[in-house]
Amino acid sequence: MKALETVHPLLTELRRCGIRHVVTVPESWSVDIDRQLHYDRHFTVIQVSREEEGVGVCAGLHVAGRDAAFVIQNGGMLASVNALAGVSRQFQIPLLMLIAYRGSFGDSAQNAVNQIAKGIVTEPVLRALEISYEIAAKPEDLRVIKDVHDYAKAWCRPAAVLMKKEAMYLR
Amino acid sequence: MMDREQCLRVLAGRRTNQVVVGAYGAGRDFRELAPSPLNLCEVGTMGMASSIGLGIAAGRPDCQVWVLDGDGSLVMNIGSLISIANNRPKNLVVFVFVNRIYEASGGQPVVGIDRLSFAGMAEAAGFEQVFEFSDEEQFERELDQVLASAGPTFVVMNAEGKRRIPINRRSTNLEEWLLVRRTLAEQTAE
C-alpha cells in the first residue's frame, strides 16, 4: 500500500489526542483515511464487521486504558443506537466518534439520494441520545477533534464529529 | 449436556489474573462463584460481550481475557467472530455456553439452534483454536491445554443448568466497569 504525499489532517488530530487505536468500518468517503491508517504504524486499526460491534470494542479498549477513535458512517451510527445507549452511555465510555455525514447538504454523490433519509435523521438521533457533536465541513475544521475528544474524556460520555465529504477526501 | 454451574466452578478454579467478560446467566453466576476486581459481568447490551472482550484483549495484550457468552447473545452479534479472528488477539478465549434457549427472555429456542454449528462458524471465521465440550470430565481434563493455546480461541460449552442468580437482581454494574479499569491501570503501573 502506497503512502499518500499529504498526511490526512484526521490522522494529525488523532496524534494530537494521543490516540493509537482506531476502530473502523470502511465507508466510501473514508478511502484516503483508511489507507493512511493502515499504512501508518503509529496506529493499531481494528476493523469490525458491523458498527455496533465497534461500540463494544471501543468500550473494551477504554476499560483496558486505551483511548480510541471510532471512524464510521452515519448509517453505522444509526445501526448502533442500542449499544450507544446500553454500553457507551450506561457505562460512561468517552467514545470519540468520527462520522461520515452522508446525506447532508453538499453530498453530491451519484447515489446521494439513498443517503438523504439517513442524513435527515442523523443529528436528531444524536441529540436524542444526548451525544454532543460538532460538524467539520472542511479539512481544517477537523482541528475540533481534539476539543471533542477532551470533552468526551472530561465528561465520560460519547461525543461526535460529523464529517462532510470535503473534510474527508484529500483529492 | 454438561452442568453449567459445574463448568463455571472448574473455570473458577483455574482462574488467576484473567479479565472475565460475562454475559447474562453465565457471567452473573461466574461472578458469584469467583469474585474478583477483574470481573466485568454486566455488558449492558445483548451480544456485546465478545466485542468488549476483543477491545480489552487488543488494548492489553499482556492479559488473558475470557469471554463467557451465551448462545442467544452470540447469535445476536455473530459477526464478531469474523472481527475477532481477523484481528487475531492471542490472549482472547471466547467460551459460548450453549443451552439452546434465550434463558433471560422467556426460554424460547435460540434461532437456528437445531441447524447451526458454533464450532463450524468459528472455524470458518478463522479462529486459531476451536474446541467443543459436552462432557465435564473431558472439559476439566483438557482445560489447561485450551487455556495454554495461542488464540484467538473459541470453546463451545454444551451445558445447561438453572441460573444461580435471579434475573432481576439489582447489580452495581457501573462500579464494576470502573473497578476493572482501575485494576488494570494499577497492573500497568506496577
Predicted confidence (pLDDT) at residue B160 exceeds the cutoff of 90: no
Task: Give me the mean pLDDT over the A4-32 stretch.
Answer: 92
Distance from CA of A79 to the nearest CA of B (A): 13
Query: What does the mean pLDDT of chain B come to?
Result: 92
Mean pLDDT over the full length of chain A = 93
pLDDT at res. A129: 97
Average pLDDT rounded to a whole number, residues A50-77: 98
Q: Which of A135, A102, A136 is nearest to A119 (CA)?
A: A102
Model confidence at B162: pLDDT above 80: no
B109 preceded by a cis bond (ω within 30 of 0)? no
For residue range B95-127, list pLDDT tens digits in order: 999 998 888 778 899 999 999 999 999 999 999
> Among all chains, which residue has been given the C-alpha cell 470430565?
B137
pLDDT at B89: 97
Q: What predicted TM-score, i.e. pTM, was given to this entire model?
A: 0.95
Average pLDDT on A39-45 reads 96
| All residues at 6 or more sequence positions from A40 whose CB lies less than 8 Å from its CB, including other chains | A11
CB contact (8 A) between residue A63 and residue B174: no
| Mean pLDDT of the region A71-76 | 97
Where residue A74 falls among pLDDT bands split at 50, 70, 90?
very high
CB-nearest partner of A56 from B48, B184, B185: B48
Neighbours of B96 (CB within 10 A): 29
Cα–Cα dist B171/A133, whole Å: 31
What does the pLDDT average to over B184-190? 82
Q: Confidence band (pLDDT; 50, 70, 90) for A68?
A: very high
pLDDT band, residue A20 (cuts 50/70/90)? very high
Q: How far is B98 from chain A (nearest CA, A)?
A: 21
Name every chain A residue with its beta carbon within 8 A of the beta carbon of B53: 60
Q: Compute the half-sphere exposure of residue A110: CA atoms within 13 Å on the CB side of its CA.
A: 0
Residue B178: pLDDT over 90: yes
pLDDT at A32 exceeding the cut of 50: yes
pLDDT of B114 reads 92
Sole residue written with cell 481475557: B65
Picking from B47, B56, B86, the nearest residue to A60 by CB comes out as: B56
Residues from chain B that touch A129, judged by Cβ atoms under 8 A, are none
Q: For residues A100 and A119, what is the distance between their CA atoms, to the nearest angstrom?
A: 10
Position A171 scores a pLDDT of 65
Which chain B residues are within 8 Å of A49, Cβ to Cβ?
79-80, 82-83
pLDDT at A1 over 50: no
Decide which of B88 and A5 is more confident: B88
Contact A63 B180 (CB under 8 A): yes
**Residue of chain B minimizing CA distance to A61:** B55
SS3 A5: coil
DSSP string, B55-106: HHHHH-TTS-EEEEEEHHHHHHTTTHHHHHHHH--TTEEEEEEE-SEEGGGT
**Strand bridging mode A96-100 / A68-73:** parallel
